[in-house]
Amino acid sequence: MPVMNLLESVRDALRTQMKADPRVVVLGEDIGKFGGVFRATSGLFDEFGADRVIDTPLAEAGIIGTAIGMALYGLRPVPEIQFSDFIFPAFDQIVNELAKFRYRSGGQYSCPVVIRTPVGGGIRGGAYHSQSPEALFCHTPGLKVVMPSNPYDTKGLLLAAMRQNDPVMFMEPKRIYRASRGEVPEGDYTVPLGVAKVVHPGTQCTVIAWSGMVSIAEEAAKLGAERGVSIEVIDLRTLVPFDIETVCASVEKTGRCVIVHEAPKTCGFGAELVASIQERVLASLEAPILRVAGMDTPFPYTLEHEYLPNPERVLGAVHKTLEW
């Protein structure tokens, strides 16, 4: 089985589905001959041609508006927004048009657009290339939100996203594009949307993470094991819909929970998880649910590693729940 990094698994998923379905087209800024700013689409232009790998102007609202029109006329577009920080000019197209077509048509029309975009910090990108805006899209009915953490899941989730009929925000952790490596099957397979995964079993505290924070949570679990603390780590994988059953089963077992995300703490998706967990399994909790998150500031340039959660911060929160 070949070993790929996360970026290569994105490319492999796109190639696999473009071969399988001639309706699939990709479009975005510099994604053609240049292969995209991170080279996610490298080689696809030569393989599939300019009709299916389309360079666009630097106009995010136009990219998404074009993709919506393509989808309504039978294509399966996969637009790329070069950085998630640049997605806001297209916000109206996404939340007021793309997300609402199935509802406003009484179920007659679907709009199968998969929007790929890199998210998060860790690359010294500063305030305009490091944000994690997933909560804004989780708050929009009609969108699915997927945030993978490793190459195997990335390919399987992206293939699954491209094969269903609702719009998907597919948000990729740029910090580990090349750092995360693993075995990825050749050819076709899918990872179902809406199913979380226990990536590190434990008994004393549940730690929930997604995207680039899963590796941080796993490191915290390993540190915890060295210090006599058993931590269960759940990779949420899909935020909308999210797998509340797996989450609650783990919290019922451990009695404690810490949520880790890179986005600012206030109104981050962690708050939704806290509410959802306590609504269902409050009687099982032995301590308040804690969040380890980014700060409520614009993303800093020189202090980004102070801003980002790290294993010691996660483990500190775990110890706080254990000492409650």
Do 98 and 217 belong together in one domain? no
Do 240 and 170 belong together in one domain? no
Do 100 and 222 belong together in one domain? no
Q: Tell me if 311 is assigned to some domain.
A: yes
Question: What one-letter code names the amino acid at 192?
Answer: P
Q: Tell me if 169 is assigned to some domain.
A: yes
The answer on pLDDT for 201 being more than 90 is yes
Do 138 and 54 belong together in one domain? yes
How high does pLDDT run on average in the chain?
97
Say whether 103 sits in a helix, a strand or coil: helix
Q: Tell me if 191 is assigned to some domain.
A: no
Q: Say which CATH number the domain at 23 has.
A: 3.40.50.970
Q: Say which CATH number the domain at 223 has.
A: 3.40.50.920
How would residue 277 be classed by pLDDT, with cut points 50, 70 and 90? Answer: very high
Q: Which of the following is catalytic: 129, 200, 261, 305?
A: 129
The answer on pLDDT for 215 being more than 90 is yes
The answer on pLDDT for 225 being more than 90 is yes
| CB-CB contact of 258 with 317 (8 Å) | yes
Per-residue pLDDT reduced to its tens digit, 19-55: 999 999 999 999 999 999 999 999 999 999 999 999 9
Do 27 and 91 belong together in one domain? yes
| CB-CB contact of 132 with 84 (8 Å) | yes
Do 32 and 136 belong together in one domain? yes
Concerning whether 261 is annotated as a catalytic residue, the answer is no
How would residue 302 be classed by pLDDT, with cut points 50, 70 and 90? Answer: confident
Do 86 and 179 belong together in one domain? yes
- Structural domain total, the chain: 2
Q: Tell me if 275 is assigned to some domain.
A: yes
Do 163 and 112 belong together in one domain? yes
Do 168 and 211 belong together in one domain? no
Q: What does the alpha-carbon distance between residue 324 and residue 317 come to, in Å, rounded to a whole number?
A: 11
Q: What is the pLDDT of residue 125?
A: 87
Q: What is the pLDDT of residue 235?
A: 98
The encoded tokens of residue 78 equal: 């996969």
Per-residue pLDDT reduced to its tens digit, 100-154: 999 999 999 999 999 999 999 988 888 999 999 999 999 999 999 999 999 999 9
3-class secondary structure per residue, 133-158: CHHHHHCCCCCEEECCCCHHHHHHHH
| Mean pLDDT score, 238-252 | 98
Q: What does the alpha-carbon distance between residue 174 and residue 93 come to, in Å, rounded to a whole number?
A: 24
314 is in which domain, residue-wise? 197-322
Q: Tell me if 230 is assigned to some domain.
A: yes
Q: What is the pLDDT of residue 244?
A: 98
